[in-house]
Structure 1
Amino acid sequence: MSLLRAFVFISLVALLVVLVVVFKPVNRDSDAGPLAASDATEAELIERGAYLALAGNCASCHTAAGGEYMAGGLPFDTPFGTIYSTNITPDTATGIGDWSDRDLLNSMRHGLRANGEHLYPVFPYTAFTQVSNDDAAALYAYLQSIPAVEQKNADNDVSFPFNQRPLMAIWKLLFFTPGAFEVDDEKSNEWNRGAYLVEALAHCSACHTPRNLLGAEIATAHMAGGEYSDRVMPGVYKPWSAPNLTASSRGLGAWSKEDLRAYLQTARNGFLESFGPMNEVILHSTRHLTAKDVDAMAVYLKSLPAVEPPPVSEPDTVVMGRGRTIYNLHCGTCHLPTGEGDPEMAPRLNRGSLVVQAENPASMINAILYSPEAPRADLPEKWREPMEEFQYILDDEELAAVATFIRHSWENRAGPVAPEQVARQRWE
């Protein structure tokens, strides 16, 4: 079923529940009473809110390249069209200067604008709903303290019927349950803190969980790996695959808590160096968190039960042979014939690479086509030479063959890559 047909079907179903939608009050927090229960001073709230904004990686989404801090304008390429992040500076004309702390809470808890309009879940209120009232108050205090920027919000380019915001009420009835995070008394304080950071503030599932045709996360595959569109080069957006973060042998089951901590704090561990969209998550968020909070995130993530990908078919022997030849010619010098990698030349490919082992090879293909983008220039160089980009060297069949060889050699047992999958990632 196409996305359009699926949405039309839901729209027809909506006719049966229209009375509920029309006459049921919009679910939102009232304006009664103070939002924050703590006795923190304004300065303390702002300091805390600044930290929470880092944990939520707000700047990466609400600051466009070359734009003013938190002034919005960053495009998100979705299956439903292009949606732009909004201005969340305290400008009263174009930002959230006229919002109350309850308005901010309602945007996070219920996915509602201050005027009651439904927000699209590109703003991940499906995760932010779990943020506590106290933390929402601190975030509000911080956002009201940053410089106001007068910048009009860009118009979304979303096709009919997806551009009809009232239909989000149906989507919420089907896929969204608002509510603050609830502590699990059977778990440790560290585990609960990690769960709060991962599931609420850091909204990791927004990228790392697959979605259905209507853009809702599939609960039965929570953190098992997702797909989203992001930049592969300036002005060019292609799919990326976020790897499996469960205890699967092809996910975080291959990493220790120490491996995960090092990656979140430094963008590197003994297996690999960050590249692609994850760079912004680490550089703008997790590396700024306290060691205690990063440890808590690692503890929680390592506790997620394994969601195993489906069995894979055996690659064609001819394709594997061709892939081995291409690998030895272009890759083996740095990654070594054994796939072990070299501490000075290139990361290992033979085990522990969540990108290589991912069910969806999109990110691996992007790395080969466009070369992995280093985390940032102010970090010490990890490798002696940056990886070459192969978009002009290997055709679709050649790249598919070498990717298949890597994904099914040594200790790797991921699926074959088809030339069509490479063509989908290639910029023309």
Structure 2
Amino acid sequence: MSHCCFRLFLLPVFFLFAAGASATAGDDKPVDRGRYLVTAGNCASCHTAAGGAFMAGGVAFETPFGTLYSTNITPDPTTGIGNWNEDDFRAAMRHGVRPDGEHLYPAFPYTAYTRLTDDDLAAVWAYLREVPPVQSLPPENGLVFPFDQRPLLAAWKLLYLESGPYEPVPTRSAAWNRGAYLVEALGHCSACHSPRNRLGAEQAELRHAGGEYLDRIPGGGFRPWFAPNLTAHPRGLALWRHEDLTAYLATGRNDFLEAFGPMNEVIMNSTRYLNPADIDAMATYLKALPAAGSASVTTEPPGEELLGRGRSLYNLHCGTCHLPSGEGDPEMAPRLNRGSLVVQAENPASLVNVILYGPEIAGADPERQWFKPMEAYRYLLDDAEVAAVATYIRNAWDNAAGTVAPAQVARQR
């Protein structure tokens, strides 16, 4: 019972063209509007395996409860949803129930999709009926007992599922409400950016305050990643301006960083195809989220010896591109000084992954590419050295994000 953002690879480009992501939200034809909504929901990333057919499922989700595989949502009658009707589809999206009455695992984020309006659900259904059918049966799930017992999800839903379409807030602007709909319903951003309890449910009081989840690293395998805080927290989106966020969602790059890791497919397969008004609305909503999360760094501040060791390693391996000031360079490397949500995050998992394995850059903006890709330091630096340089980066210049321990690096290896 986890969320849907678990992959690092990008879909082949022809999948994106198959999705027809150029449609806009205002298209009158239900199929065209549904195509746009499916793109906004990033459905292809979860339901299209690397090298597999479009929407035919089979993507592995590694969770604390075992392995889940996404389903085939093409209109194939035997292995897909070809025998479903619109009411069946609506029940799955709104209530997480299959036509046979079995409960769906919330790795399929019906906890967010339930907020879609009836008209939008009808449009998504119309589009999915037009996807080429593919006969493909995903592998069996590998969940541990008792989480392999679907009837238990009835109790889970009583505790954590609030079904029903999004209700606009009349005291808020049209842009804010549209952004809330895109972020909370279609985009299901909280699925990755919120911490979860022991039963895999999002912690409501820390919604969008950052969350750890399993996803692929370059070269294969799954490791923990940390999705940054999206609220107005000092180590979250308070660090970015509105235009920094719109640039990131539209192109995968702003003055602070370029998308890498699990965010690649969100940018490449979804947000870069949204119209500017919708991207602006998402930024409007996200920038209005009140601060959530710990107010201070919970780890002990690093000592001078550790910082000195980290500084030496940084100047040797990182300073040429990121500069000794940490300000980066538009052609060489992103900024590491105050402004990087990854550097500032309370959990250093994503920063450590970048150091160990190197970033897989999305490259959504071909006009702006780094002169030299960052190399992986997995075999060049030991755990203590990676911890030292990560600690230095997180505490140098204007940063103040706490110490990274060698044990945290070992966990990421």
TM-score where L is the length of structure 1: 0.88
The question of whether the paired residues in 1 share the 8 Å contact of 2:196 and 2:203 is answered with yes
Out of 388, 404, 419, the residue aligned to residue 406 of structure 2 is 419
Out of 297, 319, 344, the residue aligned to residue 306 of structure 2 is 319
CA–CA distance in structure 2, aligned partners of residues 268 and 372 of structure 1 = 14
Aligned counterpart, 1:142: 127
1:159-208 CA deviation, whole Å, 9 max, x = no partner? 11110000011111111211110110000111100000000000000000
Question: Which residue identity is paired with 1:213?
Answer: R
Aligned counterpart, 1:251: 236
2:129 aligned counterpart, secondary structure: helix
1:381 Cα deviation after fit: 5.1
Aligned counterpart, 2:257: 272
Percent same amino acid at aligned positions? 63
CA–CA distance in structure 1, aligned partners of residues 30 and 60 of structure 2 = 30
1:349-395 CA deviation, whole Å, 9 max, x = no partner? 01110000001111100111111111048834511000011000010
CA–CA distance in structure 1, aligned partners of residues 209 and 327 of structure 2 = 26
CA–CA distance in structure 2, aligned partners of residues 180 and 129 of structure 1 = 6
Q: Map 1:365-384; keep pairs closer than 5 Å.
A: 365-376=352-363, 379-380=366-367, 382-384=369-371
Aligned counterpart, 1:350: 337
1:310 Cα deviation after fit: 4.5
Specify whether residues 377 and 303 from structure 1 end up closer, same or farther in structure 2 by C-alpha distance, changes over 3 A only.
closer
Give yes or no for the alignment of 1:55 onto 2:40: yes
Aligned counterpart, 1:386: 373
Aligned counterpart, 1:192: 177
Q: Map 1:61-210; keep pairs closer than 5 Å.
A: 61-210=46-195
Out of 300, 305, 311, the residue aligned to residue 285 of structure 2 is 300
Aligned counterpart, 1:37: none
Question: Which residue identity is paired with 1:395?
Answer: D
The RMSD of aligned alpha carbons is: 1.4
Aligned counterpart, 1:13: none
Specify whether residues 43 and 180 from structure 1 end up closer, same or farther in structure 2 by C-alpha distance, changes over 3 A only.
closer
Out of 214, 217, 226, the residue aligned to residue 232 of structure 1 is 217
1:216-270 CA deviation, whole Å, 9 max, x = no partner? 0001101000011111024311111000000111110011111100000000001
1:42-92 CA deviation, whole Å, 9 max, x = no partner? 981100000000000000000000000000000000000000000000000
Specify whether residues 373 and 171 from structure 1 end up closer, same or farther in structure 2 by C-alpha distance, changes over 3 A only.
same
Out of 186, 209, 220, the residue aligned to residue 205 of structure 2 is 220
Please list every run of 5 or more consecutive structure 2 residues that lacks an aligned counterpart in the other structure: 2-26
The question of whether the paired residues in 1 share the 8 Å contact of 2:251 and 2:365 is answered with no
CA–CA distance in structure 1, aligned partners of residues 374 and 37 of structure 2 = 35
Please list every run of 5 or more consecutive structure 1 residues that lacks an aligned counterpart in the other structure: 4-41
1:360 aligned counterpart, secondary structure: coil
1:102 Cα deviation after fit: 1.4
User: Who wins on radius of gyration, i.e. which is larger?
Assistant: 1
CA–CA distance in structure 1, aligned partners of residues 397 and 67 of structure 2 = 41
The higher relative CO (CA closer than 8 Å, separation ≥ 6) is in 2
- Worse-matched range after superposition: 305-314 or 154-163: 305-314
1:265-317 CA deviation, whole Å, 9 max, x = no partner? 00000111000010100110000000000000000000000114252221122
1:404 aligned counterpart, secondary structure: helix
Question: Which residue identity is paired with 1:44?
Answer: K
1:145 aligned counterpart, secondary structure: coil
2:398 aligned counterpart, secondary structure: coil
1:343 Cα deviation after fit: 1.3
2:29 aligned counterpart, secondary structure: helix
TM-score where L is the length of structure 2: 0.91
CA–CA distance in structure 1, aligned partners of residues 64 and 313 of structure 2 = 34
